[in-house]
Chains A and B, each alone.
Chain A
């Protein structure tokens, strides 16, 4: 199924008239018609780059990722943005005072999960 649509999009590309300055015979080296996914994503590219053999002092894209913070992260209320001292054990949302707590308990599920997703805390593991 997928290769078919892939082909379709390829023919589409060709039907769009190429500008004159483009080499009419040029085809991307990476494109193999049988392959489903042609272009690698950044993660794949970086993993590939890391897997190759390099001299020991080589600096790669993946080697300049910033380190984790050295200070504990500050906690802010999920509904007002104020510094939060408390966490609701039921929804796992953070809140700053009693009013906010009352509001949190009234929030529908989708908003709660959306707020947790915002700080990537919605996974059960975390």
Chain B
């Protein structure tokens, strides 16, 4: 485990963002739809004619108040998406428009859309004169869609807008060319940032009623990994005897790992290992987990300044120690000193261990130690009633040490220091002794490393076993089995013949293989099925819009809408955008609500009476 080759050590890669440029707006963009993939993790915005989105940013913003606490009017600085160079620095001010996968905060959404449109170079004062194609979650609640439409139509004055489900759009684009009309039969597994959807598609359309949603996604994975590592390496901070500021830095470093972007890039980094592990996890049973604890280390990257600081401090601590510098020249004498030190080290260790076990005993009732403590306390209480000589002799005070629950450790700090000194010296001269003693000598670099063992498998497992994060829902495999169970055997075969995995996490190595393995377990013996990940996952989604474009152009004309017999009733479009609700109307509404409440209460009372009489 200690001699890991350097190829297995990975540096922390910090995600660095580059602020988005403002794209020039040209004449030939007139009337071209704008495509917005409004995901809860990333927002991608582009023109329908482009293959790739021009903007791609974290769908969040931070309001940074520069001079907080001062009397003068605070100037706020608005940072959106890629403007934020270090996400951790503004972690607590970070705001997003999403609640899980649904947009719920429309003021935030407005800020994000402002950012998108202005970076597309639009300066038109009459609004956005482009159709909008926007993604939304499957079964977006009506409330949310209404508010989003309100925002688009009334705030930005867009001529028309279309919503599409992100996973389905990707599926549509990725289906085989042979069936270009409508959607090909198949099963869509869409793994998003907060949720995972399993959507069956039959007869040219998604069967929404039989779709299912699990509340795990990239975010749950990243959070799990981050918290886990934080708990596994709390000493990460205390081991490094540097200032507390660095301690915080270290923790941040850990947290940054959880940052999905870096987590994703890491997954990609240790691709071969991860794939290997996942495959094994898929093929073999749990017992195999024991065998394949593939060790891997991630080195926390430290700035050079800190590295320079470290040795200095290390030396500073070593030199005053009795060992290091002050070791006698004579070999025999040195041997003796070392021998003495070794003895002292052992005794210190023993004392510490004894104290620890005593503390543990104390914590429990009915052990000899805690009973002894109670006896002492009661004795003390007795003695104080008579004429009191307590405290005259120094030994009297030792009693407090004995009854201290912590096991009497006022001098344990000095001891710890001494122990550290001894350990440092012994590490230099007798490395084998320490290794036997249980503590392994660690180099400075090794101390800052995180050993990844089962984490590599476990993190991905969250998708398949949400119980790992305490979620009471079935995993991906369970849900696929459940969804398939809702169909007849013939339809099931049609579904599994074309299983497509989409979403940001579909790039996770080994995921498709794992899904394949699970499906094999679900399906009847010797039956056929196919699983594949969607191609060019993220960017391709933009292209869908090109196919939409003609239809959108039709829809933007009112004539088409009326001729096709469709009238769209938007509840808010009738009222002028800025009209405040008339107080009289408001009063009337309130009265109406109260009346309704009275009715409901009366009915409930009647029901209760009826039940009682029965």
Question: A residues near B, CB below 8 A?
Answer: 12-13, 16, 18-23, 25-31, 38-42, 45-46, 48-49, 57, 59-61, 63-71, 73-74, 76, 79-83, 105-106, 108, 111, 114-115, 118-121
Binds A, one of B45-53, B376-384, B474-482: B474-482
CA distance A39 to B106 in the complex (A): 8
CA distance A45 to B128 in the complex (A): 29
Chain B residues within 8 Å of A83, by CB: 286-287, 289
1/0 per position for B76-111, CB-CB distance to A under 8 A?
A: 101000000000000000000001101011110010
**Closest-CB distance, A58 to chain B (whole angstroms):** 9
Given A23-B577, A68-B473, A71-B478, list of 17 further CB < 8 A pairs? A18-B114, A19-B114, A21-B122, A23-B155, A28-B110, A28-B151, A29-B572, A38-B107, A65-B213, A66-B198, A66-B214, A73-B467, A83-B286, A105-B360, A118-B469, A118-B470, A120-B470
Q: Do A30 and B106 touch (CB < 8 A)?
A: yes
Whether A49 touches B141, Cβ cut-off 8 Å, given contacts A21-B127, A42-B99, is yes
Nearest chain A residue, comparing its CB with the CB of B289: A82
Contact among B110, B141, B234, B458 for A45, CB-based, below 8 A: B141
B185-212 with Cβ < 8 A to chain A? 198, 208-209, 211-212
Chain A residues within 8 Å of B286, by CB: 74, 83
Chain B residues within 8 Å of A66, by CB: 198, 212-215, 473-474, 478-479, 482
Chain A residues within 8 Å of B126, by CB: 21
Q: Do A39 and B104 touch (CB < 8 A)?
A: yes
Q: Do A119 and B123 touch (CB < 8 A)?
A: no
Chain B residues within 8 Å of A31, by CB: 107
Q: Do A21 and B128 touch (CB < 8 A)?
A: yes
B470-509 with Cβ < 8 A to chain A? 470-475, 478-479, 481-482
A-B CB contacts (within 8 Å), total count: 180
Q: Do A60 and B128 touch (CB < 8 A)?
A: no
Chain A residues within 8 Å of B107, by CB: 13, 28, 31, 38-39
Contact among B99, B140, B208 for A41, CB-based, below 8 A: B99
Q: Do A49 and B142 touch (CB < 8 A)?
A: yes
- B107, B198, B482 pick with most chain A CB within 10 angstroms: B107
Chain A residues within 8 Å of B585, by CB: none
Chain A residues within 8 Å of B227, by CB: 114, 118
B144 contacts A by Cβ under 8 Å: yes
Chain B residues within 8 Å of A27, by CB: 577-578
Chain B residues within 8 Å of A71, by CB: 478
Chain A residues within 8 Å of B142, by CB: 49
Contact among A19, A57, A69, A118 for B475, CB-based, below 8 A: A69
B172 contacts A by Cβ under 8 Å: no
Whether A76 touches B458, Cβ cut-off 8 Å, given contacts A23-B127, A66-B474, is yes
Q: Do A28 and B106 touch (CB < 8 A)?
A: yes
**Closest-CB distance, A95 to chain B (whole angstroms):** 14
Q: Do A81 and B139 touch (CB < 8 A)?
A: no
1/0 per position for B11-41, CB-CB distance to A under 8 A?
A: 0000000000000000000000000000000
Chain A residues within 8 Å of B577, by CB: 23, 25-27
Q: Do B228 and A20 touch (CB < 8 A)?
A: no
Chain B residues within 8 Å of A22, by CB: 110, 114, 127, 155-156
B468 contacts A by Cβ under 8 Å: yes
Question: B residues near A, CB below 8 A?
Answer: 63, 76, 78, 99-100, 102, 104-107, 110, 114, 117-118, 122-128, 137-144, 147, 150-151, 154-157, 198, 208-209, 211-215, 224, 227-228, 230-232, 234, 286-287, 289-290, 356, 360, 453-455, 457-458, 465-475, 478-479, 481-482, 572, 577-578
**Closest-CB distance, A68 to chain B (whole angstroms):** 5
Nearest chain A residue, comparing its CB with the CB of B476: A66
Chain A residues within 8 Å of B99, by CB: 41-42, 45
Top 4 closest pairs, chain A to chain B, by CB: A120-B470, A81-B454, A73-B467, A42-B99
Q: Do A42 and B100 touch (CB < 8 A)?
A: yes
CA distance A71 to B521 in the complex (A): 14
Chain B residues within 8 Å of A74, by CB: 286, 465, 467
CA distance A87 to B487 in the complex (A): 40
Q: Do A80 and B127 touch (CB < 8 A)?
A: no
Q: Do A39 and B105 touch (CB < 8 A)?
A: yes
Nearest chain A residue, comparing its CB with the CB of B107: A28
**A-B residue pairs in contact (CB < 8 Å), sample of 8:** A26-B577, A27-B577, A27-B578, A28-B147, A39-B107, A41-B99, A64-B211, A81-B457
Whether A67 touches B455, Cβ cut-off 8 Å, given contacts A60-B141, A61-B140, A74-B286, is no
CA distance A121 to B243 in the complex (A): 35
CA distance A12 to B213 in the complex (A): 38
